Amino acid sequence: MRDEDAALDIVQDAMLRLSEKYAAKPLQELPMLFQRILQNAIHDHFRRQKVRSTWTTLLSALGQKEDRDEDFDPLETLPVKADSNWADPAEQHEQSEILGLIEQALTRLPARQREAFLLRYWEELDVAETATAMGCSEGSVKTHCSRAVHALAEMLKAKGVSL
């Protein structure tokens, strides 16, 4: 392995796999099973190492020669989408809590208001498509959506949520 720590990790992982999956096997079969598990773990390690080195080589080619120094990180050269999901975990938790409150509030809406709201804002249908799906006029869709939004806002405001 040329790396004592990696070798110890591989042996430890192989022992864990052996004890987890083959504890019920007869004692005389365990050495052969361990040998096979260890060989597979070593092969997996080298495969992962090869993939990592391939990606490192490919990513290192992204930077300009004058940009490269000991702190050069090729991943920093890749553009990040503006709409990417790199949110703070606290923000993600807060958003999931708010989404849960919205879902609870939706269940308390009258059926037609809930249907209009979900078709318009969750499914992103326009007014005409929503009216066709609901079998009513476009004016009814607008009325149902307006009432649903106001009712949801009141329910959320009562829970301390302001959007």
Query: Where along the chain do its domains lie?
Result: 4-65, 104-158
| Tens digit of each residue's pLDDT (9 = 90 or more) over 29-45 | 999 999 999 999 999 88
- The Cα–Cα gap between 115 and 98 comes to 20
pLDDT at 56: 63
List of residues 6+ apart from 18 with CB closer than 8 A: 30, 33, 34, 37
pLDDT at 31: 92
CATH 3.30.70.1290 matches 104-158? no
Tokens of 126: 């326009």
pLDDT at 75: 53
Comparing CA positions, the residue from 16, 36, 158, 163 lying closest to residue 99 is 163
| Tens digit of each residue's pLDDT (9 = 90 or more) over 42-54 | 998 888 888 777 7
